[in-house]
């Protein structure tokens, strides 16, 4: 399924062609969606502050329930036939999937992103912190699962030669068929970055434009429009984005972390060439996954 700013479009899983378009309210901004056991699809209206329930077979909106000013995450719990909503303001709201008012509303923590139904109970993630909060039956936090900090070697000429990459920006977290959670997020350097361009109007010593990979007089290739961190020899070409020669060297890198608890998290290497990994899905077998990107690593310039 695909959604636009004001509507929800159902698509065929076989051909990818649109089956129907279901209008929502102006400015609703549909986000997360889940299907329940009775053929309904529930959609988060991010700006509409509501959960919109759709009869998937009829292709019609069945009901609309206000939930909070800024809903973000949504999960369906089959055992209790419940919908759980994570709100950016910090509330966790639970309601029956068939209708009715919320039967639980509890404040967990600010900046909630996703809500997960795990074999240990409910869990929520925080967007900027990129951590997983395990909850008890009352919605209280019983464990804060933090992601690991990476160490990356730059080069022997850099100062410092080793830098830390800290996790942040939990774009999307889902559960796996094996009972784990999988988060697509970012890691960012903790070193200082210079933002001033070099002299020469964005040109290197050889006259090449930085955003076309022109060499600078320090021997580094700059593809970020002239900004640099000033490291001798360069460490990826720019203060923010990596260069084609060193695709894992950016100040911000997207990656994936798989975990069940704080002692069993495993992170993948940086997703090379990926920009803004905003969503992830896992095959029912648990052996394959797909990551949706909202940007491109390399853009064409004229």
| pLDDT tens track for 240-280 | 566 666 666 678 889 999 998 766 778 887 787 778 889 99
Q: Which residue has the higher pLDDT, 228 or 148?
A: 148
C-alpha separations of 132 from 174, 268, 292 in Å: 11, 17, 21
1-5, 104-108, 137-141: range with lowest mean pLDDT:
1-5
Burial of 250 (0-12, 13-18, 19+ CB in 10 A): buried
**What pLDDT score was predicted for residue 201?**
45
User: Which domains does the chain possess?
Assistant: 1-145 (2.130.10.10), 147-302 (no CATH)
Which pTM does this prediction carry?
0.78
**What pLDDT score was predicted for residue 5?**
59
**What pLDDT score was predicted for residue 239?**
44
**What pLDDT score was predicted for residue 26?**
95
A 10 A CB-CB count for 287 gives: 8
d(CA 147, CA 124): 14
- Give 2-44 pLDDT, tens digit per residue: 555 566 656 555 566 777 889 999 999 999 999 999 999 999 9
- Give 177-200 pLDDT, tens digit per residue: 988 999 999 999 887 777 765 554
**What pLDDT score was predicted for residue 206?**
38
Question: Residue 93 has what DSSP assignment?
Answer: E
Write phi, then psi, for 102 (nearest 5 degrees): -60, 140
162-175 sheet: strands from edge to edge? 150-153, 162-175, 181-189, 252-259, 266-267
Model confidence at 113, in pLDDT bands (50, 70, 90)? very high
**What pLDDT score was predicted for residue 73?**
98
Residue 33 tokens, joined: 């969606």
d(CA 188, CA 278): 16
- Give 47-83 pLDDT, tens digit per residue: 999 999 999 999 999 999 999 999 999 999 999 999 9
In sequence order, the β-bridge partners of residue 160 are none
Percent of the chain's residues with pLDDT above 90: 52
- Give 197-250 pLDDT, tens digit per residue: 555 444 433 333 333 333 333 333 333 333 333 343 344 344 456 666 666 667
């Amino acid at each position: 399924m695909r959604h636009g700013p004001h509507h929800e479009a159902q698509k065929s899983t076989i051909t990818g062609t649109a089956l129907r378009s279901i209008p929502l309210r102006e400015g609703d901004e549909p986000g997360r969606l889940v299907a329940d056991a009775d053929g309904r699809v529930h959609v988060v209206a991010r700006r509409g502050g509501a959960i919109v329930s759709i009869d998937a077979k009829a292709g019609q909106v069945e009901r609309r329930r206000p939930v909070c000013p800024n809903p973000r995450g949504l999960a369906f719990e089959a055992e209790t036939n419940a919908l759980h909503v994570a709100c950016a303001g910090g509330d966790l709201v639970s309601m029956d999937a068939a209708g009715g008012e919320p039967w639980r509303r509890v404040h967990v923590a600010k900046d909630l992103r996703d809500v997960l139904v795990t074999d240990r109970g409910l869990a929520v993630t925080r967007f900027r912190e990129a951590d997983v909060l395990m909850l008890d039956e009352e919605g209280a936090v019983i464990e804060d699962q933090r992601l690991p900090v990476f160490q990356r070697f730059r080069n022997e000429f850099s100062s410092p030669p080793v830098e830390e990459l800290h996790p942040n920006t939990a774009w999307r977290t889902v559960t796996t068929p094996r009972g784990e959670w999988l988060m697509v997020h970012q890691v960012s350097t903790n070193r200082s970055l210079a933002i001033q361009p070099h002299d020469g109007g964005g040109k290197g010593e050889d006259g090449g434009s930085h955003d076309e990979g022109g060499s600078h007089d320090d021997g580094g290739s700059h593809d970020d429009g002239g900004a640099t961190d000033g490291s001798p020899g360069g460490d990826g070409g720019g203060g923010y984005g990596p260069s084609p020669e060193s695709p894992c060297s950016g100040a911000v890198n997207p990656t994936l972390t798989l975990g069940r608890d704080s002692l069993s998290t495993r992170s993948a290497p940086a997703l090379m060439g990926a920009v803004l990994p905003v969503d992830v899905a896992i095959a029912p077998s648990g052996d394959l996954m797909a990551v949706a990107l909202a940007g491109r690593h390399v853009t064409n310039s004229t």
